[in-house]
Amino acid sequence: MKKIAILTSGGDAPGMNSCIRAVVRAATSENLEIFGIRRGYEGLINGDLIHMDRRSVANIIHLGGTILGTARSAEFRTKEGRTLAIKVLRQYGIDGLVLIGGDGTFRGGTQLALECGVAIIGVPGTIDNDVYGTDFTIGFDTAINTALESIDRIRDTALSHDRLFFVEVMGRHTGYIALESGLAGGAEEVLIPEIPTSIDELCDRLLNSFGAGKRSAIVVVAEGEQAGDSFRIAREVKEKCGYESRVCILGHVQRGGSPTARDRVLASKLGAATVSGLLNGKSGCMVGEMCGEIAYTPLEDTWNKKKELNHSLRELALLLAG
């Protein structure tokens, strides 16, 4: 192993830069040459590579987003696109590739690993925390803290106006962000795709809460298939039990910002582990952390297997909200 390359792909997540720094510095400590690929798979297809060294990752540990840029590449989903990408890897003599991204990035990585001889290691970098093979993804901790700060602010106005609020957080197919920010924010209800809740059930809970003397309430909603579904829920609650409400969609603010200490520590550990993994012959896998230990999981499992959500957290949120 002499030359490695690194890219960030899919949605950006706070902590990606901390991870890039860790990979670059761990690699140069082992006298490996390292290239950064701009804009994910799109940049790989187009040969948009830059040489990196220890100085090129100075002062980025605290920055949100990704200095390499990211993209969602339709071309990489095609055999022709990946053939171009493989050509670039060969042209630069890359023998190890580090992918920082989410489950989509690893689907693409699995495909690429089958088609080229380069050793590939993934690092889970997504705010959604929906990747099998790691307890937490890089970016999740920052995202829930950002969501929590907003929920706390909304609580002030909900209390002042005796109001019901629906706060919609990110997490297209998963409720991790809603669950943890909802529990931490003392939400009255947390609506997540993994546990379908009917409008009737929601109204019953709200009626109980308001009947017991509450004058305001916060319902945290995972965005579901498309952002904005909270408006429908709020409308149906109004029709069913008459409660007026306000809707706040947090959206992309949850993606940005300086990574928390937890995300920086996780990113540093996983970034360094990609380099030791590559040097120890690991390939076609993702490096994660499970129960405090570094764990390598086959890339295919990261998107083929479902990471189980901790349902008891929602029960706890509801129990404590009463």
**Closest CB to ligand ATP among residues 99, 219:** 99
Whether 256 contacts 65, CB under 8 Å: yes
- Which of these segments, 16-24, 47-55, 70-78, 284-292, binds ligand ATP (CB under 6 A)? 70-78
Q: By CB under 6 A, name the one of 11, 133, 171, 277 that touches ligand ATP.
A: 11
Rg (CA), the chain: 21
Under 8 Å between Cβ of 219 and 164: yes
In the annotation, is 200 catalytic? no
Among 108, 182, 185, 271, binds ligand ATP (CB under 6 A): 108
Helix (H) or strand (E) holding 122: strand 119-124
CB of 106 to ligand ATP, least distance (A): 7
Q: Identify the residue among 3, 72, 214, 262 touching ligand ATP (CB under 6 A).
A: 72
Which residue from 4, 5, 6, 9 is in contact with ligand ATP, where contact means CB under 6 A? 9
Choose one: 53-61, 104-112, 218-226, 274-282; the region binding ligand ATP (CB under 6 A). 104-112
The residues near 272 (Cβ < 8 Å, ≥ 6 apart) are 22, 23, 26
With b for 16 or more beta-carbon neighbours within 10 A and e for fewer, the 259-293 pattern comes to bbeebbebbbbbbbbbbebbbeebbbbbbbbeeee
Our finding on whether 176 is near ligand ATP (CB under 6 A) is: no
DSSP state for residue 97 in the 8-state scheme: E
Size of the site for ligand ATP (CB under 6 A): 18
In the chain, the amino acid numbered 29 is S
Contacts with ligand ATP by CB under 6 A lie at 9-11, 41, 72-73, 76-77, 101-105, 107-108, 111, 126, 128
